[in-house]
């Protein structure tokens, strides 16, 4: 797998392809970043972008993880003391999950976002941005029904973080796309380069296959889960024998979240996936790539129940180091 393929695999979008190709031509020493609000325990959403960070490290990138304590405070997630304590715990969980500690820099937002130069540049961006434009950028990630002034400033800070962290590539889920497009629009107004960005897919709700998996509104997998809890959640997951389920009766589009988790979480981390089955049902199945597993599910060779059993086992292997770290 060459650098370009490793950088772009399992992505929903890159902006722009030409810029990504330039990075892939000489990735050694380039810097990529993801920002996370310190929120307690890593869940499957954090893990998806962390998988991409691991890909980037293997391609030659250095990685910065922004533990965004100021952003979390602006989004009403607690006091600074509480948020910073949570940030320290999350740092250890990311390392337990598989990020290369020697090649990962963890930065608190408050390390630079309270400095005078940053504040003056932020005010300059505020002068260039309408409230409606900022609200559109924040729409996917705001908390509450209405936008507070602090939340309108939030996406401008995300835009400004990119040049202040000195990174070459901004990484996030598709819910971050509007923020990265805002950054491309407004940063040139303060003589900063528009960022290259890479967006990972969103996993559908585990129980229904609809919308987006969310720890606040539905079932998700986190590092706090025991093996038994993971098995219970996965066994209840929506998993029709296809990668392209029919919409609901109300016309809502659906995905197969079991297959999505295999594609975006399991296969990027394991060279071979074994689905264990009794000999009377054909014996074990072994897969070296996701497409083969999907094809067997479509053909009926792989039963959804067997797929779920394997998924639970591999998810448990992924979260076990973090679970042990949390126990300590």
| 245-253: Cβ within 8 A, 24+ apart | 245/209, 248/210, 252/210, 252/211, 253/210
69 is in an annotated binding site: no
Quote the CA–CA distance of 322 and 328 in Å, as a whole number: 10
Is 215 annotated in a binding site? The answer is yes
238 has binding-site annotation: no
Flag whether 158 is marked binding: yes
Q: Is 33 annotated as contributing to ligand binding? A: yes
DSSP string, 283-327: --EEESSHHHHHHHHHHTSS-HHHHHHHHHHHHHHHHHHHHHHHH
Q: Is 108 helix (H, G, I), strand (E, B) or coil?
A: strand
Q: Residue 154 annotated as binding?
A: yes
The 8-class DSSP code of residue 254 comes to: B
Query: Which sign, positive or negative, has the C-alpha torsion 83, 89, 92, 94?
Result: negative
Which residue blocks in 98-148 are alpha helix, DSSP H? 116-128, 131-138
Give me the residues paired with residue 54 across strands. none
Binding residues for ATP: 215
Binding residues: 33, 154, 158, 161, 176, 215
Binding residues for L-tyrosine: 33, 154, 158, 161, 176
């Amino acid at each position: 797998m060459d650098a370009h393929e490793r950088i772009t695999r399992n992505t929903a979008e890159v902006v722009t392809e030409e810029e990504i190709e330039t990075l892939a031509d000489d990735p050694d020493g380039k810097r990529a970043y993801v920002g996370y609000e310190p929120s307690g325990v890593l869940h499957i959403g954090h893990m998806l972008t962390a998988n991409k960070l691991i890909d980037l490290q293997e391609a030659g990138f250095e990685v910065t993880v922004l533990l965004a304590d100021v952003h979390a405070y602006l989004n009403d997630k607690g006091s600074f003391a509480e948020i910073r304590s949570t940030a320290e715990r999350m740092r250890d969980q990311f390392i337990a999950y598989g990020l290369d500690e020697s090649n990962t820099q963890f930065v608190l937002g408050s390390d630079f976002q309270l400095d005078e130069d940053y504040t003056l540049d932020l005010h300059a961006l505020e002068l260039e941005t309408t409230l409606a434009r900022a609200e559109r950028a924040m729409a996917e990630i705001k908390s509450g029904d209405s936008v507070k002034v602090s939340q309108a400033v939030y996406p401008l800070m995300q835009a400004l973080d990119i040049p202040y962290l000195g990174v070459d590539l901004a990484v996030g889920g598709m819910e971050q796309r509007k923020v990265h497009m805002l950054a491309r629009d407004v940063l040139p107004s303060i003589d900063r380069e528009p960022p290259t960005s890479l967006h990972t897919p969103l996993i559908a709700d585990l129980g229904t296959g609809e919308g987006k998996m969310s720890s606040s509104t539905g079932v998700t997998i986190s590092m706090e889960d025991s093996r038994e809890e993971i098995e219970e959640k996965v066994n209840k997951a929506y998993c029709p024998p296809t990668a392209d389920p029919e919409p609901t009766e109300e016309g809502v589009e659906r995905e197969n979240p079991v297959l999505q988790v295999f594609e975006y979480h399991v296969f990027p981390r394991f060279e071979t996936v074994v689905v264990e089955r009794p000999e009377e049902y054909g014996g074990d199945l072994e897969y070296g790539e996701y497409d083969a597993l999907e094809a067997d599910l479509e053909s009926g060779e792989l039963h959804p129940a067997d797929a779920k059993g394997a998924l639970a086992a591999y998810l448990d292997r992924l979260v076990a180091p973090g679970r042990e770290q949390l126990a300590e």
